[in-house]
Structure 1
Amino acid sequence: MPRMRKKADLPSKTCAQCGLPFTWRKKWERDWDSVKYCSERCRRESKSARPKP
């Protein structure tokens, strides 16, 4: 069985929408480099805040 990591040892980023820090999650394992937002809500708000051409 793999060893558990402490949450403080996991990588973290800052959300592009709200500016809050968030840490790595198992569901982001494959595409951690492309994750920009901490939640679905922030992702949705960033698209609606963009001016339409």
Structure 2
Amino acid sequence: MEVIRQLLTERASRTSQARIQLTFCQDSKCLRSGQKCFAADWDAKREPPKAKMGTAGR
């Protein structure tokens, strides 16, 4: 199973939260899901957020 994580900042909400899109692919079938986090909390190297969602002191 392949898991792809993307931070979609171009559609950030009014609260400055960007969407994290998770795509799960197996045997040519894909499922997408997502959560939101503050763009500043996204760790570009490791890909998951740096802090728990909603606890970044904002």
Q: Normalising to structure 1: TM-score of the pair?
A: 0.29
Higher strand content, 1 or 2? 2
Higher helix content, 1 or 2? 1
| Bigger Rg, structure 1 or 2 | 1
